[in-house]
């Protein structure tokens, strides 16, 4: 009640979804965009997933090897394509921040196109640590780095089996 009018403080009452404790009983309609800081961080359909690879032939080969995992992630995020980014091999922190600004978080869409989960494929001499450090400031970043293609293939097969086989 407002003090001066002796009536309700709000002209329109709160929606019925709001409980007496001020919490929503059900979630409001969910927006269809990437990087949802207010959404479930485990929901790929809300956060999305992307891949960062080395520039050139090495990056293209790593994407080929990772295709089964990329396909699974695309399915898990509702069929929306997995974004991929190519990165030069040597960048200091300032250059990595500039690379991010030019390639990932360009500011044109207010992070609407930036996947929050980001997998770096390649060792530190292929995708520099500075990229990982810049990206993990607000993203969920991981790296796969093996000495040979068989290491990538085995790990990716293990992840897919773990996620698609009932326990």
Spatial contact of 116 and 125, defined as CB atoms under 8 Å apart:
no
Spatial contact of 63 and 119, defined as CB atoms under 8 Å apart:
no
pLDDT higher than threshold 70 for residue 5: no
> Among the residues of the chain, which ranges form H helices?
44-47, 57-76, 93-103, 129-135, 149-164
* Alpha carbons 110 and 43: distance in angstroms, whole number: 20
pLDDT, tens digit, for every residue of 21-56?
Answer: 555 444 444 444 445 566 677 777 777 889 999 999
Tokens 């093996």 correspond to what residue?
146
DSSP structural state of residue 106: -
CB under 8 Å to 7, separation ≥6 — which residues? 1
Q: What is the mean predicted confidence (pLDDT) over 117-144?
A: 93
DSSP structural state of residue 19: -
Q: Which pTM was predicted?
A: 0.74
**pLDDT for position 46:** 74
CA angle (6, 12, 14) in 5-degree steps: 105
* Alpha carbons 50 and 83: distance in angstroms, whole number: 5
């Amino acid at each position: 009640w407002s003090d001066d009018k002796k009536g309700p403080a709000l002209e329109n009452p709160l929606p019925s979804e709001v409980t007496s404790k001020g919490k929503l009983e059900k979630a409001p309609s969910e927006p269809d965009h990437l990087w949802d800081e207010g959404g479930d961080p485990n929901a790929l359909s809300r956060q999305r997933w992307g891949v960062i690879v080395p520039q050139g032939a090495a990056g293209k080969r790593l994407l080929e090897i990772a295709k089964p995992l990329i396909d699974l992630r695309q399915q898990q995020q509702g069929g929306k394509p997995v974004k991929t980014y190519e990165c030069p091999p040597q960048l200091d922190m300032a250059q990595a921040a500039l690379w991010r600004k030019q390639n990932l978080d360009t500011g044109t869409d207010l992070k609407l196109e930036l996947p929050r989960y980001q997998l770096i494929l390649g060792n530190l001499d292929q995708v520099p640590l500075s990229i990982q450090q810049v990206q993990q400031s607000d993203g969920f970043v991981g790296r796969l780095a093996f000495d040979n293609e068989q290491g990538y293939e085995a790990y990716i097969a293990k992840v897919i089996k773990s996620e698609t086989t009932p326990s």
